[in-house]
Amino acid sequence: MADQYFGKYSGVVKDNRDADKLGIVQVSVPTVFPAEEQVPARAALPYGMFFVPPKDMNVWVEFEGGDSNSPLWTGVQHVPGSWAPEAAKNPPTVRAFRTAAGHLLIFDDTEGSESVVLTDGVNAHRLTFDADGVVLTDGKNSHSITLDANGITVTDGVNHHEIELGSSAVTVKHGAGVAKVTLEAASAKAEAGAAKVELGPAGATVDGPVIMLGAGASLPLLRLGDQGIGNLGAPVPITITTQTKVIA
C-alpha cells in the first residue's frame, strides 16, 4: 500500500507537455519523492478553468485520498514579482488573468471605476470596457475606435485621419490637411481651407476665393452667349471669382 500524504506539498513543474491534453504536468515533490524523481500530477481546477503552468513554475501538490500514487496539482505559488501589478491593490478589488507572454485580462471591481480590460502583451493591443464606453486600440500604430455617449470615433493613428459618427452629424477629417466633410440630417458641407460647399433643402452654396467649373459641368440655368466665348446655349468652362455676380 502506498504511503499516505495529506495536505499541500511544494512542487516544481518539470514538463507541462501532455499527449492527452488533459493538463497533466510532470512535477518534482522533494518532500515526498527523491529530488530527481518526476511524477505525473493531474489538474484539479475549478470548472471552466484551462490554465496549465509553465515549466519551472512552483505549484502546490496534493494527493487524492492521501495516496502518493495519485498526485494532483491544485494551484501555483506566487513569488515576489510574479503578481500582475494591475492586480496589486489593497483592498484586492481587481481580478486578473495573465499568461506567460503577458496577455492580460483585468476585471476591476473598484467602486466608481469598474472596468474590464483585455491587453495583448506582445503587441500592446487593448480593449477597454468602462462607464464611459468601449475603446479598441491598436498598440503598434495607435489606431483606435471609441464608442461612447457622444457616438463612435475612428482614428487613424499613423495619418491622423478621423471619422466621427455623432448624434446629429457624421464628420470625416483628413489628418494631414484641412479637408473636412460634415453630413447632417438635411445638409452636407465640404471644406478645404477657405473653400466651402454647402448643400441643403433650399439649394447649394459655394464659397471660396476662386470657383472653377470644368468642361464636364452642366449648367442649364447659366449659359455664356455669343460674345466670342462660345456658341449660344452651349455650356463652357468658366471661372467665377468672389467679384463675379451670377444671376440665373
d(Cα 148, Cα 167) in Å, to the nearest integer? 11
**Same domain, yes or no, for 118 and 135?**
yes
| Cβ proximity of 85 and 34 under 8 Å | no
Is 4 a domain residue?
no
* Three-state secondary structure call for residue 126: strand
Position 248 pLDDT exceeds 80: no
Is 1 a domain residue?
no
Is 186 a domain residue?
yes
Percent of the chain clearing pLDDT 70 (strictly above) = 84
* Three-state secondary structure call for residue 78: coil
Range in 120-129, 183-192, 218-227 with the lowest mean pLDDT: 218-227
Position 114 pLDDT exceeds 50: yes
**Same domain, yes or no, for 129 and 168?**
no
Position 98 pLDDT exceeds 90: no
d(Cα 232, Cα 239) in Å, to the nearest integer? 18
Is 136 a domain residue?
yes
**Same domain, yes or no, for 64 and 28?**
yes
Write the pLDDT tens digit of every residue in 130-164.
Answer: 999 999 999 999 999 999 999 999 999 999 999 99
Measure the CA dihedral 89/90/93/98, to 10°.
Answer: 30
State the burial class of residue 90 (Cβ atoms within 10 Å of its Cβ: 0-12, 13-18, 19+). exposed
pLDDT at 99: 86
Rg of the Cα trace of the chain? 34
Is 3 a domain residue?
no
Is 192 a domain residue?
yes
Write the pLDDT tens digit of every residue in 205-247.
Answer: 888 777 776 665 554 444 444 444 445 555 444 555 555 444 4
Q: Which domain holds residue 93?
A: 83-141
Number of domains in the chain: 4
Indicate whether this model's pTM tops 0.75. no
Across 40-49, 93-102, 122-131, 215-224, the highest mean pLDDT is recorded for 122-131
Indicate which CATH number applies to the domain containing 90.
3.10.450.190
